[in-house]
Amino acid sequence: MSRMITYRDALVEAVTHEMRRDSSVFVYGIDVADHKRIFDSNKGLLEEFGPNRCFNTPLSEDAMTGFGLGAALNGLRPIHIHMRVDFMILAMNQLVNMISSFRYGSGGRFKVPFVVRAIIGRGWGQSFQHNKSLHSWVAHIPGLKVIMPTSPKDALGMTMAAIRDDNPVISIEHRWLYDALGAVSHTAETQPLTGAEVIHPGNDITILATSWMNIEAKQAAEVLGRRGVTVEVVDARSISPFDETVLVESVNKTGYCIVADNDWVHCGFGAEVAARISHTCFGRLKAPVERLGFAPTPCPCTRPLENAFYTGATEIIRTIESMLKLSPTDLSGEHFFSYEKKFKGPF
């Protein structure tokens, strides 16, 4: 039995479920307990669990990350939230110099069950300080797990699994996904923290996508599907550790691979994927792996440049056409996603 819920409600359900199950879980961060509750992803937590388990903090990201480490070492299970990934940058010292290596550096005597939820912003001129993803930054560091749930099923199940995991897990959520509806099982179930998943089956070409780029890739697959080109879309789900089994199987079948990453291309996750695929599927590849992502610039404010900065379904379609040597599809009648149907402004 399944039911449909939004990504936002999946997050609420995951955290509520885990907080009921385990009294050591608590949620904290800047503005987590104000009336907006981080885009309503913390709805009801303060009411049900009280201010000891859901609280606002001063604007002190690095110190409050160290706070989380201390609490985790001492038997609690903190969930620290950043309204934008960009603000998590202020916490890099604690995340990268302390949390990532604390267990290893103690010879395994400590464990650090610590979850960071950080949100990717995009659109309405939020520009260069409110739009980063940074999953490849943190995924580069051994000792940090990095996930990017895309579906409500994963927002629910991976968040639950992250809270139960005895290691630091950074969950990077795209703001635009919050309203996405999807099926989840009747009872809340955890989902594995690693392992890619085929979200749209096909035989002609494989797209590995992260976060929001899955939505774009699926749209591209639907458009090309009408021409008889079948595109397999694989959701990476986790960035670190990244388990390539499902992707390798897909590329061995299609012979083509595009990585559509919600990030800059240079030194990004796509480079890691391309290297692994080139290594593992070398003889099967009919063309080099292609990578798509942000333009190599800071994100500008004004709309025409903001539009040019991001890649979407159109660029994916054009890349597929060029790899498969197809004539260009007429896209004039297509209605691709426009966030303005949902919201104006960053909040």
Partner 1 sequence: MSYPGLELYKKLYLARRCEEYIVKYYPQNDMKTPMHMSMGQEAVAVGVCHAVGSTGLVLATYRSHAAFLAHTQNVPLFFSELYGRVNGLANGKSGSMHLADPDHGHWGSSGIVASTIPIALGLAFAQKRKNTGATTVVFFGDGAIDEGSFWESINVAALMKLPVLFVCEDNGYAVHTPSKKRHGYDSIVDIVGQFRCATFSDDSNDVESICNMTQQALSIIQAGGGPVFLHIKCYRYLEHVGINDDMKDAYRPVEIQEAWLKKDCLVLQRLRLINEQGVEEIVIQQLEEQVETSIHHSIVAAKQYSSPDPSQLFHGVFYEEN
Ligand X SMILES: Cc1ncc(C[n+]2csc(CCOP(=O)(O)OP(=O)(O)O)c2C)c(N)n1
Do 229 and 133 contact (CB within 8 A), yes or no? no
Segment 56 to 85, residues that bind partner 1, using CB under 8 A? 56-63
Q: Residue with structure tokens 């904290």?
A: 28
Taking every pair of Cα atoms in the chain, the longest distance, rounded to a whole number of angstroms, is 61
Query: Binding pattern to ligand X, positions 41-70, x when CB under 6 A?
Result: ------------------x-----------
* Long-range contacts (CB closer than 8 Å, 24 or more residues apart) made by 13-17: 13/156, 13/188, 14/155, 14/156, 14/157, 14/159, 14/160, 14/163, 14/188, 15/42, 15/45, 15/79, 15/159, 15/163, 16/44, 16/45, 16/48, 17/160, 17/188
User: Which partner in partner 1, ligand X, none is near 181 (CB below 5 to 8 A by kind)?
Assistant: none
Closer Cβ to partner 1, 278 or 297, answer by number: 297
Site for ligand X contains 73 (CB under 6 A): no
Residue 87 CB, shortest distance to ligand X, in Å, is: 4
Choose the stretch contacting ligand X; rule: CB under 6 A; options: 83-91, 229-237, 242-250, 255-263.
Answer: 83-91
Among the listed residues 239, 248, 234, the one whose alpha carbon sits nearest the alpha carbon of residue 272: 239
Site for ligand X contains 30 (CB under 6 A): yes
Do 170 and 145 contact (CB within 8 A), yes or no? yes
Segment 24 to 53, residues that bind partner 1, using CB under 8 A? 30-31, 34-36
Site for ligand X contains 7 (CB under 6 A): no
Total chain residues near partner 1 (CB under 8 A): 42
**3-state secondary structure at position 147:** strand
Residue 36 CB, shortest distance to partner 1, in Å, is: 7
Closer Cβ to partner 1, 91 or 247, answer by number: 91
Number of CB atoms found within 10 A of residue 342's CB = 12
Q: What is the DSSP string of 149-180?
A: --SHHHHHHHHHHHHHSSS-EEEEEEGGGGG-
Residue 264 CB, shortest distance to partner 1, in Å, is: 12
Among the listed residues 193, 4, 217, the one whose alpha carbon sits nearest the alpha carbon of residue 115: 193
DSSP 8-class letter at 250: H
User: Which partner in partner 1, ligand X, none is near 328 (CB below 5 to 8 A by kind)?
Assistant: none
Segment 90 to 109, residues that bind ligand X, using CB under 6 A? 90
Q: What is the DSSP string of 200-243?
A: E--SSEEEEE-TTHHHHHHHHHHHHHTTT--EEEEE--EEES--
Query: Binding pattern to ligand X, positions 171-200, x when CB under 6 A?
Result: ------------------------------
Query: Binding pattern to partner 1, positions 279-318, x when CB under 8 A?
Result: ----------------xxxx-xxxxxxxxxx---------
User: Which partner in partner 1, ligand X, none is near 56 (CB below 5 to 8 A by kind)?
Assistant: partner 1
Site for ligand X contains 271 (CB under 6 A): no
User: Which partner in ligand X, partner 1, none is near 104 (CB below 5 to 8 A by kind)?
Assistant: none
Binding site for partner 1 (CB under 8 A): 30-31, 34-36, 56-63, 86-87, 90, 124-130, 295-298, 300-309, 340, 344-347
Contacts with ligand X by CB under 6 A lie at 30, 59, 83, 87, 90
